[in-house]
Chains A and B, each alone.
Chain A
């Protein structure tokens, strides 16, 4: 039971980390980046290369990836989103476009790394650690040590910085934000950059938490991240943490006590949340006129 709770919380934080950037983008742009999981995989391959080729700690890929990921995200924004806004049906067009970006990243990953799963030893960070009478893989604690500060930084960015206030303003109402003097396009580009940083930064953890990555892992991660943010509340960054923890705990308990149902139950949870509270756990009630 304690093992399932610890596992659920740590995996939940990891899923929240993976979902944070996707939810930020949805909140600001009202678009779903279907390539989000593939960006996580890019971070995973970066960590793998750093570890195998340079022989250094794979978690160094997290700080190493920050600036390139931000530049990649901002570039992706300016290369796609302003053009998307000219489309007649922006949402549908964006789904197709980001699906295309996802396929391109997956194809490139296949060319560079092949189709097989790549992984690093679960003992990379040392042997299992005894905690609360349980033997826990050391990478779980590394994951906790990275995701908690990362999510705190995410919170501080959104709720304690000038950029964050402007970002939340754009999330609420981009027209009103613009008439308050906020450069909506610049804030959106920065949000895309930050979202990409969070995706890429969660990649090295995925390498361990998922037991390895392959080019196809991206789609699974996008689906997981989307489930997490739907449970927590689309467009609500704090909801991502709630959604991640709930998803992680449910997954962990089902894997422990009802393992054959593990693939389905998190999505059943998502459906249940959608049916009971369509706006997600932290979402506002929607009134239809």
Chain B
């Protein structure tokens, strides 16, 4: 593992009025590493993803991507610098073709290089290049979301509940694609409820509850941790 983290989030806090949705959460992410973000509904997982990707502005804390402070940048500039994100419900640019969806990201990436892998080939969508994105199945739309992210040539990919609604065989395919991204040196933050899926993808997990970090470590260790057990099982 390299010494310099690709993503370094320190003390991230997000307040919505008087409600603190994220409270002093920190995470360092190294090349090729995948961290699962786990917690009950409302624990702050998606808020973390939204703060890191720039959808929300952090109330406090710092975020560095490849050592560059990005907490003051809007989402599109973070994306151009190599911070990709997928959505729980795929939101492809429906009236655009599959190819245009990827081209839009390619045109705006500052990290993409000529020798990069073809995102559509990677996602197995090359044969659908000229189809409208809204004609794809849910699984194909998720693959397109990944292809779009890959076109940005990202250093870090934030994967928000990507496995929701997929069949067991589709889960295996998606896990394999995410592991391929890791193999390319990208680091992943994976928000997920499906433990089997997490086990196939991540090295360690960060468990959140009420916006706070309550555990950081291996997935198996997490479920022998008293605080985690109490949060998930209420005992």
Contacts and interface: CB of A to CB of B under 8 A. Distances in A.
Interface of A: 162, 165-166, 168-169, 171-173, 175-185
Given A165-B103, A175-B55, A181 B96 contact: no
Contacts of B8: none
Contacts of A183: 74, 76-77
B76 A178 contact: yes
B93 interface: yes
B32 interface: no
B75 A178 contact: yes
Contacts of A182: 76, 104, 108
A177 B93 contact: yes
B87 A169 contact: no
Nearest to B85: A179
Contact of A181 (B55, B87, B100, B152): B152
Given A179-B53, A181-B109, A182-B76, A172 B95 contact: yes
B214 to A, nearest CB: 29
A173 B152 CA distance: 18
A173 B91 contact: yes
B45 interface: no
Interface in B84-119: 84-85, 87, 91-96, 100-101, 103-105, 107-109
A169 to B, nearest CB: 5
B152 to A, nearest CB: 6
A233 to B, nearest CB: 11
30 contacts: A165-B100, A165-B103, A166-B104, A166-B107, A168-B93, A169-B96, A169-B104, A171-B95, A172-B93, A172-B94, A172-B96, A173-B91, A175-B55, A175-B91, A176-B87, A176-B91, A177-B104, A178-B79, A179-B53, A179-B75, A179-B84, A180-B93, A180-B101, A181-B76, A181-B79, A181-B104, A181-B107, A181-B152, A182-B104, A183-B77
Given A173-B91, A177-B93, A181-B108, 14 more contacts: A165-B107, A166-B104, A166-B108, A171-B95, A175-B75, A175-B91, A176-B87, A176-B91, A176-B92, A178-B75, A179-B53, A179-B79, A180-B104, A185-B74
Contacts of A185: 74
Nearest to A169: B93
A187 to B, nearest CB: 10
Contacts of B148: 176, 180
Q: Which 5 residue pairs spanning A and B have beta carbons closest together?
A: A181-B108, A178-B75, A180-B105, A181-B79, A176-B91
A162 B108 CA distance: 10
B79 A180 contact: yes
Residue among B76, B77, B94 facing the most chain A CB atoms (10 A cut-off): B76
Nearest to A166: B104
Nearest to A187: B76
Contacts of A180: 76, 79, 93, 101, 104-105, 108, 148, 151-152
Nearest to B92: A176
B39 to A, nearest CB: 22
Contacts of B53: 179
Interface in B102-142: 103-105, 107-109
A168 B108 contact: no
B131 to A, nearest CB: 15
B143 interface: no
B80 interface: yes
Interface in B148-185: 148-149, 151-152
Contacts of A179: 53, 75-76, 79, 84-85, 149
Given A165-B96, A168-B96, A172-B96, A181 B91 contact: no
